[in-house]
């Protein structure tokens, strides 16, 4: 059976939630493999809106196993609150339907405090984080001082882990003018939340490999977008984890050979939340129109997203770094009614034209988009479920996107409703 990885191929907010939900009906297991509760997925099912952060999108579909992999950093208090909120909407969540990797790192209160304190420093350029402690938790993971889910089961191990973490964090906090961490209160809080989390703890790497051998279909769900990848994104304005498709293997403990299809989610234009370079950003009426029609506000932060024309250079680049087999093009309907549309086909830098985004931050800030202009369309594409329902100019736009990014369209989404999807290639096909 085919196993599919879903990744965002821009700066996030591409509509992954709807597509993962659409695909999850065909999957047996849905697995999150990176990021934290800074990721926001909005699902619209039969008119009801579900907003998820830490939970995999598969939880809203009965009969699916949802998995939080070790590549995720997990705020246990947020997870418990999110589970309670989703249960109020009629969704059943139990150890039979949700599993957390035993080696998943935990986000603790001091991670968020450190995150916010750093962003508040007037002398330091802001990264634009959500302030939820994601970055500091990943720092502790690679610094070998993080507390993991399995540590909650043994008081002696937990105290040793806390002692190691506090040596580092209390020194940092002193430099930032923050009070020292109350060790006893922290351990008491962890002991209190432990039973809520440990009931879901499992050796995920083992279970997923068993599921694969049993012929189950596994859907790997990424958070954020590939342009926020810690290595291949617009550094330092990135998230703190690897976002590209290869992380699905290391973030769950399943080998890369188990991945059969990589689906890149791509918005028909470009948006970005927070700081950092954005070559095709618009500051005119067209940019305002894209934002209003696309309802471009962050699920987690509520911040208005920056909007611009489609950047084929960046999407071609992310399709290569993630090994994308096909894209799901979303929000095509937002482009309805534009007289003309533009696509970025290259960058001008110091008199030369580049076909990729350079790594150096000063060069990223100075590149200027080279545009190709296409004819728009007046007819509505909203809710279209077949190519025959699309205007000829819309089809031409989609075909030109395919040519420029060097990757075919596997799915086309024309509204937030899950059924308003045109299937070209089934990612789960054997």
As annotated, the active-site residues are: 13, 41, 141
Q: Is 94 known to sit in a ligand binding site?
A: no
Q: How far apart are CA 117 and CA 113, in angstroms?
A: 6
The SS3 call for residue 298 is coil
Q: Is 426:343 a contact under the CB 8 Å cutoff?
A: no
> Could you identify the residue written with the tokens 């950093």?
73
The SS3 call for residue 368 is strand
Q: Is 12 known to sit in a ligand binding site?
A: yes
Q: Is 175 known to sit in a ligand binding site?
A: no
Q: How far apart are CA 234 and CA 232, in angstroms?
A: 7
Q: Is 130 known to sit in a ligand binding site?
A: yes
Q: Is 239 known to sit in a ligand binding site?
A: yes
Q: Is 323 known to sit in a ligand binding site?
A: no
The SS3 call for residue 267 is strand
Q: How far apart are CA 310 and CA 121, in angstroms?
A: 34
Q: Is 303 known to sit in a ligand binding site?
A: yes
- Element containing residue 413 per DSSP (H, E): strand 409-413
Q: Is 413 known to sit in a ligand binding site?
A: yes
Q: How many Cβ atoms from other residues are within 10 Å of residue 182's Cβ? A: 11
DSSP state of 301: T
Q: Is 300 known to sit in a ligand binding site?
A: yes
Q: Is 42 known to sit in a ligand binding site?
A: yes
Q: How far apart are CA 69 and CA 199, in angstroms?
A: 15
E strands in 175-295: 201-202, 218-221, 261-267, 270-272
Q: Is 302 known to sit in a ligand binding site?
A: yes
Q: How far apart are CA 25 and CA 64, in angstroms?
A: 8
Q: Is 425 known to sit in a ligand binding site?
A: no
Q: Is 241 known to sit in a ligand binding site?
A: no
Q: Is 333 known to sit in a ligand binding site?
A: yes
Q: Is 40 known to sit in a ligand binding site?
A: yes
Q: How far apart are CA 181 and CA 33, in angstroms?
A: 30
Q: How far apart are CA 111 and CA 427, in angstroms?
A: 38
Q: Is 267 known to sit in a ligand binding site?
A: no
Q: Is 318 known to sit in a ligand binding site?
A: no
Q: Is 67:31 a contact under the CB 8 Å cutoff?
A: yes
Cis peptide before 236 (omega within 30 of 0): yes
Sign of CA dihedral 278, 283, 284, 288: positive
Q: Is 287 known to sit in a ligand binding site?
A: no
Q: Is 293 known to sit in a ligand binding site?
A: no
Annotated binding-site positions for Mg(2+): 13, 40
Annotated binding-site positions: 12-18, 38-42, 130, 144, 224, 239, 299-305, 331-333, 413-415
Annotated binding-site positions for GTP: 12-18, 40-42, 305, 331-333, 413-415
Annotated binding-site positions for substrate: 299-305
Annotated binding-site positions for IMP: 13-16, 38-41, 130, 144, 224, 239, 303
């Amino acid at each position: 059976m085919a196993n599919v990885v879903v990744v965002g191929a821009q700066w996030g907010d591409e509509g992954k939630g709807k597509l993962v939900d659409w695909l999850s009906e065909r999957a047996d297991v849905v697995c999150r493999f990176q990021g934290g509760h800074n990721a926001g997925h909005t699902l619209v099912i039969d008119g009801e809106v579900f907003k998820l952060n830490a939970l995999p999108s598969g939880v809203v579909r009965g009969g699916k196993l949802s998995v939080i992999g070790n590549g995720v950093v997990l705020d246990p208090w947020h997870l418990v609150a999110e589970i309670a909120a989703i249960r109020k909407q009629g969704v059943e969540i139990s150890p039979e339907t949700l599993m957390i990797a035993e080696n998943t790192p935990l986000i603790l209160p001091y991670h968020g405090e450190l995150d916010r304190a750093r962003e508040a420093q007037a002398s330091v350029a802001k990264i634009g984080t959500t302030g939820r402690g994601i970055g500091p938790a990943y720092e502790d993971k690679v610094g070998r001082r993080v507390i993991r889910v399995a540590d909650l089961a043994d008081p002696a191990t937990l105290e040793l882990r806390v002692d190691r973490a506090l040596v580092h964090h209390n020194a940092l906090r002193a430099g930032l003018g923050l009070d020292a961490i109350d060790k006893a209160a922290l351990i008491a809080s962890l002991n209190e939340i432990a039973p809520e989390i440990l009931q879901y703890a499992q050796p995920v790497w083992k279970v997923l490999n068993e599921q694969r051998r049993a012929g189950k279909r596994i859907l790997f769900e990424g958070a954020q977008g590939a342009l926020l990848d810690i290595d291949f994104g617009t550094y330092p304005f990135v998230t703190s984890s690897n976002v590209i498709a290869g992380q699905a293997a290391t973030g769950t403990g399943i080998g890369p050979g188990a991945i059969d299809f990589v689906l890149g989610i791509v918005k028909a234009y470009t948006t970005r939340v927070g700081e950092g370079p954005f070559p095709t950003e618009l500051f005119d009426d067209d940019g305002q129109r894209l934002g209003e029609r696309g309802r471009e506000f962050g699920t987690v932060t509520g911040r208005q997203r920056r909007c611009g024309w489609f950047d084929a250079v960046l999407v071609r680049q992310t399709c290569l770094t993630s090994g994308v087999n096909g894209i799901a093009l979303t929000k095509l309907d937002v482009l309805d009614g534009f007289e003309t549309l533009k696509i970025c086909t290259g960058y001008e830098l110091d008199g030369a034209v580049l076909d990729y985004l350079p790594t150096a931050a000063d060069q990223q800030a100075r590149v200027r988009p080279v545009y190709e202009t296409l004819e728009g369309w007046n007819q509505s594409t909203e809710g279209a479920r077949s190519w025959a329902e699309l205007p000829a100019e819309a089809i031409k736009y989609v075909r030109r996107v395919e040519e420029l990014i060097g990757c075919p369209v596997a799915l086309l989404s024309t509204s937030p409703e899950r059924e308003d999807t045109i299937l070209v290639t089934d990612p789960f096909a054997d």
